[in-house]
């Protein structure tokens, strides 16, 4: 299977590259999501059997200041690429987020649950979902959460840096979700891409790490696995204000993805161990 991957340096793109050295990966210079028409042209010109969009605007707080650009990158570009893929008759796989929900309650969100983003980032990602579906081609929208890896900027690397510098860290304890190793997302996308290429229907699915955990308890596990003495102090989200509101409940019901593709939720604790081993 010939795969075209939009993105090259992000967490998931780098894990895809490890597993698919033969795939073609487009850098920002080749497919800038701020230019949806150029991205669509790149998909149209490709001979790939499937397209994976592993690039996105991920600066959640910055999106509050520039929602138009975030929407171009996360909304308009995926829609344009999905239309180009549909015209070529090839599947389009797109990564979305738990931020499309409002985080209410404490039950896992099912894929068909009503969406209600709290901020600009979530609205931009929801716009991408709508556009991908409207393109009319075979597609997979994969909502995930709390992506972690040994690459780029993420919670694990931030905790390791701060934990080595400080005796105590104050971390929010009322936001609950599933940390998801980028490596597991990459492997899931590869399986799903082949399935869609072989005729699987795709649709909107969800995939996150297990078990669900608070940021504070996640931080404690990071310190323990890394052998750091830094103590974690629980705080509410109100004690750590940010420009963009975060959903308190990011639990995702991933049972549909397991039923459709046979892929179970990855244990993020093992994924964390793998990340720490790589970083060391």
**pLDDT per position as a tens digit, 35-59:** 999 999 999 999 999 999 999 999 9
| pLDDT at position 16 | 98
Alpha carbons 274 and 149: distance in angstroms, whole number: 9
Alpha carbons 220 and 216: distance in angstroms, whole number: 6
Domain-located, residue 243 = no
| pLDDT at position 216 | 98
| Residue indicated by tokens 């099912």 | 110
Residues in Cβ contact with 198 at an 8 Å cutoff, skipping those fewer than 6 apart: none
Q: Which segments within the chain are labelled E, that is strand?
A: 3-6, 24-26, 50-53, 92-97, 139-144, 147-148, 168-172, 176-177, 180-181, 202-206, 213-214, 231-235, 249-250
Domain-located, residue 229 = no
| pLDDT at position 49 | 95
CA atoms within 13 A on the CB side of 13: 20
Total residue length of the chain: 280
Q: Is 121 a known active-site residue? A: yes
Domain-located, residue 226 = no
Domain-located, residue 216 = no
| pLDDT at position 41 | 97
User: What are the backbone dihedrals phi and psi of residue 245, each rounded to the nearest 5 degrees, phi first?
Assistant: -70, 135
CB of 100 within 8 A of CB of 75? Answer: no
Domain-located, residue 196 = yes
Domain-located, residue 46 = yes
Domain-located, residue 37 = yes
Helix 36-45 crosses helix 77-88 at what angle (to 10 degrees)? Answer: 20
- From the number of C-beta atoms within 10 Å of its C-beta (0-12, 13-18, 19+), residue 41 rates as middle
| Residue indicated by tokens 């919670």 | 155
CATH number, residue 50: 3.40.50.720
Tell me the residue range of the domain where 135 lies. Answer: 3-149+181-209+252-266
Q: Which helix (H) or strand (E) holds 164?
A: helix 155-165
* Active-site residue (options: 99, 101, 121, 240): 121
| pLDDT at position 179 | 98
Q: Would you write out the chain's pLDDT as a tens digit for each of its 280 residues?
A: 899 999 999 999 999 999 999 999 999 999 999 999 999 999 999 999 999 999 999 999 999 999 999 999 999 999 999 999 999 999 999 999 999 999 999 999 999 999 999 999 999 999 999 999 999 999 999 999 999 999 999 999 999 999 999 999 999 999 999 999 999 999 999 999 999 999 999 999 999 999 999 999 999 999 999 999 999 999 999 999 999 999 999 999 999 999 999 999 999 999 999 999 999 9
The dihedral through the CA atoms of 240, 9, 149, 48 has a sign that is positive
Helix 215-226 crosses helix 268-279 at what angle (to 10 degrees)? Answer: 50
User: What are the backbone dihedrals phi and psi of residue 66, each rounded to the nearest 5 degrees, phi first?
Assistant: -145, 65
| pLDDT at position 110 | 98
Residues in Cβ contact with 63 at an 8 Å cutoff, skipping those fewer than 6 apart: 57, 70, 119, 120, 121, 124, 244
Domain-located, residue 143 = yes
| pLDDT at position 235 | 98
| pLDDT at position 172 | 98
Q: Give the count of domains, the chain.
A: 1
């Amino acid at each position: 299977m010939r795969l075209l991957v939009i993105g090259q340096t992000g967490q998931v793109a780098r894990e895809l590259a490890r597993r698919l050295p033969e795939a073609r990966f487009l850098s920002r210079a080749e497919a800038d999501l701020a230019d949806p028409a150029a991205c669509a042209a790149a998909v149209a010109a490709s001979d790939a059997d499937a397209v994976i969009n592993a690039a996105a605007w991920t600066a959640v707080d910055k999106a509050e200041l520039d929602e138009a650009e975030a929407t171009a990158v996360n909304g308009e570009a995926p829609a344009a690429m999905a239309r180009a893929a549909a015209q070529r008759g090839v599947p389009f796989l797109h990564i979305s987020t738990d931020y499309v929900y409002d985080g209410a309650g404490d039950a896992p969100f099912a894929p068909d649950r009503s969406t209600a983003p709290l901020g600009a980032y979530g609205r931009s990602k929801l716009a991408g979902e709508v556009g991908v579906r409207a393109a009319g081609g075979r597609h997979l929208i994969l909502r995930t959460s709390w992506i972690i890896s040994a690459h780029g900027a993420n919670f694990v690397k931030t905790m390791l840096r701060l934990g080595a510098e400080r005796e105590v860290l104050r971390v929010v304890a009322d936001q609950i979700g599933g940390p998801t190793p980028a490596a597991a997302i990459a492997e899931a996308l590869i399986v799903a891409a082949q399935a869609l290429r072989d005729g699987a229907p795709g649709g909107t699915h969800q995939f996150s790490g297990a078990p669900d955990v608070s940021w504070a308890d996640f931080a404690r596990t990071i310190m323990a696995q890394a052998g750091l003495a830094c103590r974690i102090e629980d705080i509410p989200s109100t004690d750590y204000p940010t420009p963009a509101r975060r959903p308190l409940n990011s639990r995702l019901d991933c049972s549909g993805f397991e039923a459709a593709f046979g892929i179970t939720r990855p244990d993020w604790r093992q994924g964390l161990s793998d990340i720490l081993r790589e970083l060391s």
